[in-house]
Structure 1
Amino acid sequence: MEPALRRAYRRESEETRRADLIAATQELVAEGGPEAATVRAIAARAGVTAGLIRHYFHTKDELTRAAYLSLMDGMTAKGSDALEGVGAAPEERLAAFVSASLRPPVLDVGAVVLWAGYMHKVRTDPELKTVHEAAYLAYRDMLQSLIAALPRSASDAQLRAEAIACNGLIDGLWVEGSILSHAFAPGEIVTIGLRSVGAILGVDLIAHSAMLPDPGKILP
């Protein structure tokens, strides 16, 4: 096995050093699964000593959970960022959020491989499962709030069920669109996502996607 690449040493702030350790962990998990992210390998990849890792994270499992949360929160944040500069129309805002969730940089094979690596540990690590649940609910709650703003009547139970269904749909398209990107025409995954979410909710998200600041490729 080739030795892990070592980053050049440089003095960093605590926040930057934590980010470097999280990034190193993510890279190793993506390359070889959770087992590849040993303390020694993480230290070598980040260009630090193993002892320094314990200054920022008490255990390797704590670092693993932080790396997973960073992955999931990052993808949710990109959807949230897409709402900046978007008009006030609820349909337009929902279209922006769905579109951002189904195109690069969120649509990325590396992110899916990394996510899959962590899923193996969710079954055996209750604390990682708690992190996963929190990340899932954060995205779903944001989606539900955008659905709730649509100009129609819906009960809380209906909104919850719709958010779960739309979240599941987006997740599936994200996985296949990332891994099999060559199998889809440019913009096809986004178009399918907008049409399918719109069909679940009874709104035309395709029409409202044309009003987005950066609508991207939307198929007819």
Structure 2
Amino acid sequence: MNRRTFHRAPEAERREDLITATLDCIAELGIQGATVRQIATRAGVTGGLIRHYFASKDLMMQDAYREVMRMMSAPAFAAADSPGTARDRLIRFIVGNLTPPVTDARMLSLWAAFIGHIRVEPAFAAIHRENYVAFLSVLQDLLQAFFEEQGKPLAADTCRHHAIALNGLIDGLWLEGTLVSDMFHDHELADTAILSVERLLGLNPGDLVAPIRT
């Protein structure tokens, strides 16, 4: 296990460094294997410093899961807020969910380490629910803007139903694509998602076209 050089830094940065070390340990060893001692060694600090920032290992793991959710959602949220038409932003949103870094093997390892805790630990369930609600809200707003741009405005409830369906589609492709990544060529997941979204939304073939690859 590599040992980080822990430098003097503002409080927020130190906390971020500890979360990064925690995620590194979880990706390699799982939650049970990611002990405070292992995390301290990876971060290059003492266990006492970790306890200064986190009152318990449970709270540290909860913050680590929040960071995993943030990393998985960040490319899609950035796409939704990016310049361009609603159509362009919708395409970027889909692509961002199904290309690296979201589809990296490390991200799958982290997701798999945490997912079993959601059903049995209320704190993890609350974090998951908060992220899901935010993700769904962003996607619903993006779909509403897209259909308004097309001159075919839809009711909020209809956009919500579409958002739920699209989220399920993206999740399924992400899971299969990261579990057996060698079966897919570059951008195949994203391109497949775009074709599927066209059908799901009742669009014409080619209404959503993936960005030009460079």
TM-score, normalised with respect to structure 2:
0.90
Shift in Å at residue 119 of structure 1? 0.7
* CA deviation vs aligned residue, 1:7-65 (integer Å, no higher than 9, x gap): 22321221221111111111111112110121111111111111111221221111111
Structure 2 residue 129 is matched with structure 1 residue 133: yes
Query: Which residue of structure 1 lines up, in the alignment, with residue 63 of structure 2?
Result: 66
Q: Using a 3 Å threshold, how does the CA distance of structure 1 residues 9 and 21 change in structure 2: closer, same or farther? A: closer
Query: Which residue of structure 2 lines up, in the alignment, with residue 80 of structure 1?
Result: 77
Greater length-normalized contact order (CA 8 Å, ≥ 6 residues apart): 1
* CA deviation vs aligned residue, 1:125-172 (integer Å, no higher than 9, x gap): 111110011112211211111111123232332222111110011011
What SS class does the counterpart of residue 153 from structure 1 fall into? coil
Task: Measure the CA separation in 1 of the matches of 2:213 and 2:204.
Answer: 17
Shift in Å at residue 84 of structure 1? 5.7
Give the paired residue count.
Answer: 210
Shift in Å at residue 79 of structure 1? 1.4
Task: Measure the CA separation in 2 of the matches of 1:81 and 1:153.
Answer: 24
Structure 2 residue 9 is matched with structure 1 residue 7: no
Q: Using a 3 Å threshold, how does the CA distance of structure 1 residues 216 and 84 change in structure 2: closer, same or farther? A: farther
Q: Using a 3 Å threshold, how does the CA distance of structure 1 residues 50 and 11 change in structure 2: closer, same or farther? A: same
Task: Measure the CA separation in 2 of the matches of 1:166 and 1:180.
Answer: 21
Q: Using a 3 Å threshold, how does the CA distance of structure 1 residues 76 and 25 change in structure 2: closer, same or farther? A: same
Identity among equivalent positions (%) equals 40
Aligned partners of 1:96 and 1:209 also within 8 Å: no
Aligned partners of 1:198 and 1:205 also within 8 Å: yes
What SS class does the counterpart of residue 186 from structure 1 fall into? coil
Alignment of 1:136-155 (within 5 A): 136-149=132-145, 150-151=147-148, 152-155=152-155
Q: Which amino acid aligns with 1:141?
A: S
Residue from 36, 39, 50 that aligns with 1:39 = 36
Structure 2 residue 13 is matched with structure 1 residue 16: yes
Gaps (5+ residues) in structure 2? none
Shift in Å at residue 203 of structure 1? 2.8
Task: Measure the CA separation in 2 of the matches of 1:190 and 1:22.
Answer: 30
Aligned partners of 1:102 and 1:170 also within 8 Å: yes
Task: Measure the CA separation in 1 of the matches of 2:185 and 2:207.
Answer: 20
Residue from 98, 108, 129 that aligns with 1:102 = 98
Alignment of 1:158-169 (within 5 A): 158-169=158-169
CA RMSD in angstroms comes to 1.9
* CA deviation vs aligned residue, 1:170-208 (integer Å, no higher than 9, x gap): 011111212212101222111111111221112358544
Q: Which amino acid aligns with 2:119?
A: R
Q: Using a 3 Å threshold, how does the CA distance of structure 1 residues 159 and 84 change in structure 2: closer, same or farther? A: closer
Gaps (5+ residues) in structure 1? none
Task: Measure the CA separation in 1 of the matches of 2:27 and 2:116.
Answer: 12
Q: Using a 3 Å threshold, how does the CA distance of structure 1 residues 198 and 121 change in structure 2: closer, same or farther? A: same
Structure 2 residue 47 is matched with structure 1 residue 50: yes
Structure 2 residue 92 is matched with structure 1 residue 112: no
Task: Measure the CA separation in 1 of the matches of 2:82 and 2:72.
Answer: 19
What SS class does the counterpart of residue 124 from structure 2 fall into? helix
Structure 2 residue 107 is matched with structure 1 residue 121: no
Query: Which residue of structure 2 lines up, in the alignment, with residue 92 of structure 1?
Result: 88
Aligned partners of 1:92 and 1:205 also within 8 Å: no
Aligned partners of 1:21 and 1:46 also within 8 Å: yes
